[in-house]
Amino acid sequence: MSVTAAEAFPWCYNVSSDVGVTRRVVLTADGDGLSLASDPSGAVNFLDMVNNLQGDYGRGYYIEMSIGTPGQKVNILVDTGSSNFAVAAAPHPFITHYFDAALSGTYQSSGRTVAVRYTQGNWEGELGTDRVSIPNGPNGTATINIAAILSSEGFFLPGVNWQGILGLAYPMLARPDSSVVPFFNSLVQQLGIPDIFSLQMCGAGISASSTADPPGGSLIMGGIEPTLYQGSVWYTPIVEEWYFQVEVLKLEVGDQNLDLDCREIQDFSSGFWDGSKLACWMKGETPWRFFPKLSIYLRATNTSQSFRITILPKLYIQPITDVDGTLDCFRFGLSSSANGLVIGATVMEGFYVVFDRAQRRLGFALSSCAVSGGEALSEVAGPFSAADVAANCSWAPPKEPFMWVISYALMAVCAVVLIMLLLLLVLPCRRNRSGEITDESSLVRHRIK
């Protein structure tokens, strides 16, 4: 990573539970429809899955898998915004190893080609099937649809430690078509686990360049692990099964302004706001006090009510690297999307997120690891009246395709308004500065939905 210093203001530069007890559980429903871990005779050991993810927000969160016979170990990036399970099947300069289909006695090629393009990066390959197991996942081995990646562009990055991607969304997003059964669907069908998974990502507030032991997280397949969150799980309905699409009622930018002062804030180039450039402050000075909390109001499963999830600036103004031991550099962790408002890794790192596909709902609870310096980095509050909260962002669940288009357009407008509000509060202080750091790891952040 190249660094170019620029003229400085006095303090900143503008440069680019105890888990020792084994517990086997299955899911039951209480009177409120909350999925609970309760049956000691069940077949899913959630505690074995705690801390089964490695990585961080900059380089992505990945899980170890074994593919083929005999098993070949690979690290697979977790992605809730796509549906293909794909793994490198040919050498690439940015990966240390790959899945060699010729060495597996159980790999079967379908003879079909497949290509997937992400927000940034793409790959092409061939479809096949093979046996897959997860050392720190559900017991058993399943036959999975695999896309063997033969060529790619901008997909594998320098410094990442994963060799493939696990798409956890619905079949509608699978390529080349929805007949390709996604990974998690196959686990549910073949291993008999409940159709629910939950995710905790623990990289919040940790610099990707300064930690030799990445914080990681947990992907709980088959249910919910109570030790990973605090308080209650708040649920919002999944209104369409392609991405995990939910209804946003309102966006809110704190109850305070950014407190920016032209005497003490540097020029932020457009690259800072799109996540491709970094801004740096002298060590000991941090930018978080200049930015507000960001809140999203979601419709509750009781549709007359809503609840609010809030992230603090430490989640979306993210430490990335330091320069010569004198500067701390940060990235703006929010970005625009072509698919309306996307609740991505930046927000999800503040919460334990439950993907309850069986009951078509998405749950949010305070993550036990979303803490920095003793301070919680996220908040969940409610219930509120949905009618009182609803703004122009909200829309009753549409029935016709045309109404869906209007709904997406409204959500996109709200996302643009949020970003523009942040920009307008900063632009009066703009000054011309030169020299910026390019953050090459932003691709992974965009890819995690």
The pLDDT score that the predictor gives to residue 45 is 76
Q: Residue written as tokens 């920095």? A: 372
The per-residue pLDDT for 29 is 34
**Span 205-226, mean pLDDT?**
72
> And the tokens for 419?
């970003």
Mean pLDDT of the region 125-150: 97
Structure-derived torsion over alpha carbons of residues 130, 134, 135, 136, reported in degrees to the nearest 10: 180
92 is written with which tokens? 């690439």
Q: Write the pLDDT tens digit of every residue in 75-93.
A: 999 999 999 999 999 999 9
- Position 333 scores a pLDDT of 65
Instruction: Return the pLDDT at 400.
Output: 47
The structure tokens listed for 24 are: 């086997």
- Residues 277-324 have pLDDT tens digits of 777 877 777 777 777 888 889 999 999 999 999 988 777 777 766 666
pLDDT in tens, 184-212: 999 999 999 999 999 999 876 554 444 44
Q: What angle do CA 59, 60, 64 make, to 5 degrees?
A: 115
- By the 8 A CB rule, do 290 and 259 touch? yes
What pLDDT was estimated at residue 440? 33
Show the beta-strand stretches assigned E in 118-210: 122-133, 142-153, 164-167, 196-201
Q: Is 441 or 124 the better-scoring residue by pLDDT?
A: 124
Residues 6+ apart with CB under 8 A from 217: 51, 53, 55, 61, 199, 200, 201, 202, 203, 369
Give the rounded percent of residues in the chain with a pLDDT score beyond 90.
Answer: 46
Q: What is the DSSP letter of 267?
A: P
Closest CA relative to residue 318, chosen from 364, 282, 277: 277
> Could you tell me whether strands 164-167 and 72-79 are parallel, antiparallel, or unpaired per DSSP bridges?
parallel
Stretch 155-182: mean pLDDT: 95
pLDDT of residue 277: 74
Indicate the DSSP class of residue 355. Answer: E
Q: Letter for the amino acid at 387? A: A
pLDDT grade for 116, boundaries at 50, 70 and 90: very high
Does residue 101 carry a pLDDT above 70? Answer: yes
Share of the chain above pLDDT 70, in %: 64
pTM of the model: 0.74
The residue ranking higher by pLDDT, 253 or 401, is 253
349-370 pLDDT, tens digit per residue, is 889 999 999 999 999 999 999 8
Per the CB < 8 A criterion, the answer to whether 279 and 266 are in contact is yes
Band of residue 112 on the pLDDT scale cut at 50, 70, 90: very high
